[in-house]
Amino acid sequence: MNANLTSALDSRLLALADDELILAHRDSEWTGHAPMIEEDIALANIAQDELGHATLWYAILCDLRKQPDEHTDQLVYFRDAADWRNAQLLELPIGDWAFTMLRQFLFDQFEWVLLPALTKSSHTAVTQAAAKVLREEIYHTRHSTAWVRRLGQGTAESHRRMQTALDVQWPLANQLFVPMLGDEALVAAGIWPDMAPLQQQWLAKVGEMLAECGLIAPASAATRVSRASHTEHLTALLADMQSVARLDPQADW
Amino acid sequence: MTQATDITPKLAEFEARIGRGEKIEPGDWMPDDYRKQLIRMISQHAHSEIVGMLPEGNYITRAPSLRRKMVLIAKVQDEGGHGQYLYHAAETLGISRDEMEQALLAGKAKYSSIFNYPTLNWADIGMIGWLVDGAAIKNQTMLAHCSYGPYSRAMVRICAEETFHQRQGKEMIVKYAQGTPNQRQMAQDALNRWWWPVLMMFGPHDSDSPNSEVLRRWGVKTQSNDTVRQLFLDEVVPELMAIGLQIPDPQLHFDAENKHWKHGPIDWAHFWQVVKGNGPMNKERLAARNQAHDNGAWVRDAVTAYASRK
């Protein structure tokens, strides 16, 4: 693989791993505070899965950088906000249960179109990881789809809360598909899929569910900012997440 | 009168079954007091698991490596699972989960006082795993032999998972006690704060334990509070000393004649203060449970409304 391709794949892997990690972090905040014990358990499970997926993508990234696996903890605990590549959608605070479930649904649907394409990647490590992640995503998709239906069609209040969440999240969801430097070369080499047609598939799938629930996607302009751009919430999230590790950077935890 | 002559042979048969080591099952005849005591114990145990998610959950966002983060989420999730499982076990005695949850939220039900202490540094997570779960395992191993079938089976299953919890906690503390000066200081600080509350987990001394006599006769508690506390002490004292941590009890000593570790006096006045709701975190723990419940009300309403239309 030439230097341009390596650098482009590095960016894509980092973005995907960061997405999974930040979402796992937010979901895990519900543990002990969910609306019912069954959901404490379910969401803790999903958080562990997403954390596991993040670890898989970071591991491929470590290989690509010829770094040992411990490099992953360095990336997570000693990297400042400006160097993270997760979408802003995922770093927003958890909000209410509608906000968390809608975000999970939008991201699950993103993975649901991305992962099958990644299973056809010419890069073997990516193909294998995508197949593994896809098997677990079946359950996530089922869980978040069921919740969007229940809340979208439950009571007037649950519907209102879903619409409020959608108004905030819809423009930001576009950032999941925003192009990154070197994408064309990755697509040409069959390593990473073209994100534009995936976004059309995603819009169709998500649109069906919104229609079923009578939820209306706002007309406000979609976020076109790059994945290097963040909200102030990421800084706060990282300050908390990295606080113990940075107390003693030499320590093995 | 007819009722009394009716019940006495039943009670005799009930006690004879327990004497033979048989398990009592949900549909079986049992004295009202047995049912009441078990509902009290199992629901308190379930509440302890649910409230117990909070002190450790406090550090999920700050776990200092991805491996620790993963293990901690899984551990707190297990506690939720134990709570759910124990509520089911209590339901077999004719009380609903909703009634039990309402009693907790209203501050009428008790749960283990150990969860009314704060988690102040990351090593607390290891110390809770090692000592708090270790103490719980000692109690639960005893309860796995209890006469009520569903509780006994729940304890067998829960103990198996708690053993993993204890192992990961001990692994952390052993590592930190031998780690950097910061880590050693964290581990010592955690031990200083958790030691006495952990010893109190086994309950009052046998001479001051009002429920113990009848619970022993009916095979609910098969060992006394002091016996289980001694088992725990003899296990952990040498292990803590071996890794160079100082146990915060100047009177702690080895009784060579009886071959047991003996602790200094326990501050029972403090213990009863915490039981009565005046511990450092009682109000916050209940407030957190109430907040989760209140914030979830509209969610549960939506679930019911949606289900009723399908």
- At B115-125, the pLDDT tens digits run 999 999 999 99
pLDDT tens by residue, B128-140: 999 999 999 999 9
Residue A95 at interface with chain B, using a CB cutoff of 8 Å: no
Which of B68, B70, B302 minimises the CB distance to A154? B302
* Nearest in space to B55 (alpha carbons), one of B284, B303, B301: B284
Q: What is the mean pLDDT of residues B224-238?
A: 96
pLDDT tens by residue, A214-228: 999 998 777 789 999
Residues of chain B with Cβ-Cβ distance to A97 below 8 Å are 295-296, 299
- How far apart (Å, rounded) are the C-alpha atoms in residues B253 and B260? 9
- Could you tell me if residue B287 is inside a domain? no
Residues of chain B with Cβ-Cβ distance to A240 below 8 Å are 61-62
Q: Is the CB of residue A252 less than 8 Å from the CB of residue A88?
A: no
Domain spans of chain A, in order of start: 3-247
Which of B74, B83, B183 minimises the CB distance to A48? B74
**Backbone region of residue B204 per phi and psi (left: phi > 0; alpha: psi in -120 to 50; beta: other values):** beta
- How far apart (Å, rounded) are the C-alpha atoms in residues B178 and B198? 23
Q: Is the CB of residue B78 less than 8 Å from the CB of residue B161?
A: yes
Residues of chain A with Cβ-Cβ distance to B43 below 8 Å are none
pLDDT tens by residue, B272-307: 999 999 999 999 999 999 999 999 999 999 999 999
pLDDT in the model for residue B7: 61
pLDDT in the model for residue B2: 42
Residue A237 to residues A5, A158, B200, Cα–Cα distance (Å): 31, 27, 37
pLDDT tens by residue, B143-184: 999 999 999 999 999 999 999 999 999 999 999 999 999 999
Q: How far is B93 from chain A (nearest CA, A)?
A: 21
pLDDT tens by residue, B37-46: 999 999 999 9
Which residues lie below 8 Å from residue B3, measured CB to CB, with a gap of 6+?
none
Cβ–Cβ below 8 Å for A154 and B295: no
Amino acid at B169: G
Residue A150 at interface with chain B, using a CB cutoff of 8 Å: yes
**Mean pLDDT across chain B:** 95
- What torsion, rounded to 10 degrees, do the Cα atoms B303, A41, B145, B89 define? 0
**Backbone region of residue A173 per phi and psi (left: phi > 0; alpha: psi in -120 to 50; beta: other values):** alpha
- Counting the structural domains of chain B, the total is 1
Which residues lie below 8 Å from residue B131, measured CB to CB, with a gap of 6+?
B169, B194, B195, B198, B236
pLDDT tens by residue, B199-225: 999 999 988 887 678 888 899 988 999
Residue A34 at interface with chain B, using a CB cutoff of 8 Å: yes
- Could you tell me if residue B297 is inside a domain? no
Domain of B62: which CATH number?
1.20.1260.10
Beta bridge partners of B203: none
pLDDT tens by residue, A189-207: 999 999 999 999 999 999 9
- How far apart (Å, rounded) are the C-alpha atoms in residues B139 and A189? 61
pLDDT in the model for residue B215: 86
**Mean pLDDT across chain A:** 97
> In which domain, by residue range, is B236 found?
2-281
* Nearest in space to A97 (alpha carbons), one of B57, B60, B301: B301
Q: Is the CB of residue A90 less than 8 Å from the CB of residue A47?
A: no
- How far apart (Å, rounded) are the C-alpha atoms in residues A204 and A222? 16
* Nearest in space to A32 (alpha carbons), one of A23, A40, A43, A22: A40
Q: How far is B20 from chain A (nearest CA, A)?
A: 38
Q: Is the CATH code 2.60.40.420 the one for domain A3-247?
A: no
Q: How far is A57 from chain B (nearest CA, A)?
A: 13
Cα-Cα end-to-end distance for chain A:
35
Q: Which long-range contacts (CB under 8 A, 24 or more apart) does B285-288 make?
A: B285/B51, B285/B54, B285/B115, B285/B116, B286/B104, B286/B105, B286/B107, B288/A32, B288/A33, B288/B54
pLDDT for residue A146 is more than 90: yes
pLDDT in the model for residue B170: 98
pLDDT in the model for residue A222: 75
Quote the DSSP letter at residue B148: B
Of A107-116, B5-14, B71-80, the one with minimum mean pLDDT is: B5-14
Q: pLDDT grade, residue B6 (50/70/90)? A: low
Alpha helices, DSSP H, located in A2-96: 3-28, 37-64, 71-77, 88-91
